[in-house]
Chain A
Amino acid sequence: METPSRELTYAQAIHEALAMAMEADDRVFLLGEDIGVYGGAFQVTGDLINRFGEDRVMDTPISELGGAGVAVGAALTGMRPVFELQFSDFVTLAMEQIVNQAAKLRFMLGGAVSVPMVVRLPSGSGTGAAAQHSQALQAWLAHVPGLKVVEPSTPHDAKGLMLAAIADPDPVMVFEHKLLYKTKGPVPTGHYIVPLDKAEVRRMGSDLTIVAGGIMCGKALDAAAELAKEGVEAEVIDPRSLRPLDLGTIGESVKKTARLICVYEGVKTLGIGAEISAAICESPVFDYLDAPILRLGGAESPIPYSPILEKAAVPQTPDIIAAARRLAQGRV
C-alpha cells in the first residue's frame, strides 16, 4: 500500500528516490559531472553531497566514456552506481561502455555476472539549448538487448521508476525530460517501485488510442481534453518503459478503440512509434484496426535554436489534436 502523498516536483521526486536508495543501501553511490556542490546541472542531486559526502556523490572529470566505464567496473564488483550524464546527448560519448560493455557483459560471460547500474539521461528539447543539448535518443538505447530503458512522465513515476531501476540487477537507462523537472504532482512519502515493464493508462477513452511517453504524455492528455469537447474520447497510454515495451496494454486498448496514434519526441524515422506501430501490425490486434496507424515524431532535422523552429521540430498539442480529428473522422 502506498504511503500518504504530497506535491513534489519531478526533480524533487528523483532526488528523494536517490536519497532513499542511498540511505537503504551502502552500495549505492552517485557519479557524474558537477553533481556535488554544484548540485547537478538541473539541481537533481542538489544537497545530497552534504548528506552523503563526496565518496558517495562523486564529481567526475568531464569524462563521459570513462565515467560510464567506472560505473560498469563498480557494478561488476559489488557496487550499485547511478551515473548522471549532464545531458542525454552526451551518451554519444559513452556509447562504447554502455552498448558494448554494460549491455553485453552478462550475456557474453554466460550469465556469470550482472551489471546493476543506472544511467540518468536529462533529455529533450524546449529549452533553447539547440542541436547538441536537446535530443531525444531513447530509440538508440532501446535498440540494444541487455539494456532496459524507461521514461517517467510524472513525479510519482520518476521516484518509483528510479527506485526500481536502482534495485534492478541489470543496466537501466532513465530518460528524464528537462521540461518536466519543475512539474508538480503527488508523490508518496515512502518507498515504492513502479515496475520497469508496465505501461499505464492515463486516460480512458473509446474512440482512439494515443501512446505518448515522457513529455509527450502531458501533451497527449491536453489534446484529449480538447478532443473531448468535440465528443472524441481518446485513451492515452503512457508506455513508461521502452525496453521492454508493454505491448499487451497497448494492444488491449487498440482492440477497444480500433485507432492508434504514436506520439514521440525522437526523430520519427526508426523511432519508438515505428516499433509500436510495426508490432501492432504484425500481431492479431491488426484485425481490430479500422484505420491506418499514425506516427507523430520529431522532424527529420537537428533541433534548432530559434523558438519558432524549435517548436516546429517536435510534436505539439495542436498537432496531436489535428491528427486525432483526422483519424476519428476517417480522413487519413
Chain B
Amino acid sequence: MSISSIESIASPQVNRPRIYERLTKSDVRGALYKMILIRRFEESAEDAYVRGQSYGTMHLSIGEEATAVGACAPLSDRDYVTSTHRGHGHCIAKGAEVKRMFAEFLGRETGYCRGRGGSMHIADPSKGNLGANGIVGGGIPIAVGAALSVKRRKTGAVVVCFFGDGANNEGAFHESLNMAAIWRLPVVFVCENNLYGMSVSTERSTAVNYIAQRASAYSMPGVTVDGNSFAEVAQASFDAADRARRGEGPSLIECMTYRIRGHSRSDRNRYRTKEEIETWKGRDPIDAFENELESHGLLSQSEIDAVRAEVEDEIKQGIAFAEASPSPSADDLLRDVYTI
C-alpha cells in the first residue's frame, strides 16, 4: 500500500479518488468549467442548427464530456491531440475558444478554419490540437507521426490520440498501434467507446469484449475505465502520459461512455432503446463530477453555480462574436490550397 493511500484513509476525505491529490482546486474548477462549456457549446450549436443558422451536419458528444476533459487533464499547450468527427469536446478540452468554434460552425471567416472546415475539422495548432478528422481512424497514424516528431525533437511532449470504438476496426488502428509500440513513442491512445459505430453495436462489430484487450497485441498497457467519471479518465491519462514522458512508450485507454444524441442529424435511433438512453442520462458525467467535487469538499455548490454562470457568459459572447463575423469571400476560394 502506498503512502498516499494510507494518508487518504487517515484523512477525512474517505475514498477520495487519488487523482485529486495531484490536481489543484483551480485545476478541478477548470475541468468542470470545460465540461460544462462543452455541453453548452453543443446545446447551443444544436439550437443554431435547428433554427437554420448553420449548414451541413454535426456530431454531438453530449454525455461524453468527462472523457475529453479527463484525457486532456495531463496536457499543456506543447502536447498534441488528434481528434475525431465528434471532436468539439476535444477542442475545448485542449483550450480552444468557443467564439472561434461558433464562428467556424456558422462558416465565418473568423472561425478556426476560416469557414473552410466546419464542425468536423476544427483545429487549433497553436494549442497543439492537430484537428478533428472526418475519416474514421484518420487521426491515428497522424498522432503516431506527431509522437515520432516530438521524440526526435526531444520536446518532452506527449500526444493524446482520440478515436471511437468504430475506428478500432480500421486497418489504420492496427498499423499505428504497432508502429507506436515498436518505436516506443510517447502517445496515449484514447478510445471513446460509446457502444455504437453509427448504428452498429460493438457487440456486433468487434471480436473482443473490451477494446483495451487489443493493447496486449501491441505489448502496451490497456485499461478500461468509466468514461463518464472525470477522476477515472484523468487518473488513467496521467498514468499513461507519465509513462510516455518517461520514454516507456504508448498506452491504450478505453473510456466507456455514451452519446446521448444520435450519430448525426440523420439518426432516427432505430438501433437502441429509449430505456437505454434514459439509463445513460442517469449517469450524466457533469452531474457526477459536481456531486463528487461537492462531497469531497473540493468545490462548494455556490462555486459550482459561479462556474455555470461564467460559462453562460462565454457562450453568449461567443455566439454574438460569431453572428457579427464576416462570411468568406468567394474570390478567396483557392486560397490555402497550397502554401506557395
Interface check A72, CB cutoff 8 A = yes
**Contact flag A70-B113 (CB < 8 Å), given A61-B179, A108-B121:** no
Q: Is the CB of B113 within 8 A of A146?
A: no
Separation of A74 and B130 alpha carbons in the complex (Å): 11
Q: Which residues of B contact A105 (CB under 8 A)?
A: 131
Counting chain B residues whose Cβ lies within 8 A of the other chain, the interface size class is 35 or more
Whole-angstrom distance from the CB of A117 to the nearest CB of chain B? 9
Q: Are A110 and B116 in contact (CB under 8 A)?
A: yes
Contact residues in B for A284 (Cβ distance below 8 Å): none
Most buried by B among A75, A106, A107: A107
Decide yes or no whether A209 CB sits under 8 A from chain B. Answer: no
Interface check A225, CB cutoff 8 A: no
A79 close to chain B: CB less than 8 A: yes
- B337 contacts the other chain (CB 8 A): yes
Contact B121 A73 (CB under 8 A): no
- Tell yes or no: A317 within 8 A of B by CB: no
Interface residues in A44-79 (C-beta closer than 8 Å to B): 55, 60-61, 63, 65-79
A71-126 at interface with B (beta carbon < 8 Å): 71-79, 81, 96-97, 100-101, 105-114
Q: Is the CB of B141 within 8 A of A70?
A: yes
Beyond A63-B179, A70-B141, is A112–B149 a contact (Cβ under 8 Å)?
no
Q: Cβ of B198 < 8 Å from any Cβ of A?
A: no
B249 contacts the other chain (CB 8 A): no
- Report yes or no: A110 in contact with B117, Cβ–Cβ below 8 A: yes
- Chain B residue numbers with a CB within 8 Å of A7 are none
Q: How far is the CA of A70 from the CA of B143 in the complex (A)?
A: 7
- On chain A, the residues within 8 Å of B257 by CB distance are none
Q: Contact at A107–B116, with CB atoms within 8 Å?
A: yes
In contact, B175 and A63 (Cβ under 8 angstroms): yes
Q: Which of A55, A63, A66 contacts B152 (CB 8 A)?
A: A55
A96-B135 in contact (CB<8A): yes
Docked-complex contact A106 and B339, CB < 8 angstroms: yes
Q: Do B172 and A96 have beta carbons less than 8 Å apart?
A: yes
Give a binary string over B179-201; 1 marks a CB under 8 Å from any A CB, 0 the rest: 10010000000000000000000
Chain A residues within 8 Å of chain B by Cβ, number: 41
A170 to B117, CA, bound (A): 19
Mark out the residues of chain B between 89 and 135 whose CB falls within 8 Å of any chain A CB in the assembled complex. Answer: 111-117, 121, 123-126, 130-131, 133-135
Q: A74-B149, A169-B339 are in contact. Are A110 and B114 (CB under 8 A)?
A: yes
Check A77–B112 contact: CB distance below 8 A: no
B171 is contacted by which of A60, A65, A74, A111 (Cβ under 8 Å)?
A65
B130, B141, B178 interface centre (most CB from chain A within 10 Å): B141
A181 located at the interface, meaning its Cβ lies under 8 Å from any Cβ of chain B in the complex: no
> Complex formed: what's the CA distance from A110 to B339 in Å?
11
Option from B117, B124, B171 in Cβ contact (under 8 Å) with A108: B117
Establish whether residues B178 and A61, one from each chain, have CB atoms under 8 Å apart when the complex forms.
yes
B80 at the interface (CB under 8 A from A): yes
Q: Is B338 among interface residues, defined by CB-CB distance under 8 A?
A: yes
- Please tell me if the beta carbons of A66 and B176 are within 8 angstroms of each other in the complex: yes
Q: Across the interface, do A108 and B116 meet the contact criterion of CB distance under 8 Å?
A: yes
A264 touches B (CB below 8 Å): no
Shortest beta-carbon distance, B184 to chain A, in Å?
A: 12
Do A113 and B145 touch across chains, with their CB atoms under 8 A apart?
A: no
**A64 and chain B: residue at smallest CB distance:** B175
Tell me whether B138 and A112 are in contact (CB under 8 A).
no
Nearest chain A residue, comparing its CB with the CB of B340: A169
3 closest pairs, A vs B, by CB? A73-B145, A69-B141, A66-B175
Which A residues have a C-beta under 8 Å from some C-beta of B? 29, 55, 60-61, 63, 65-79, 81, 96-97, 100-101, 105-114, 145-146, 148, 168-170
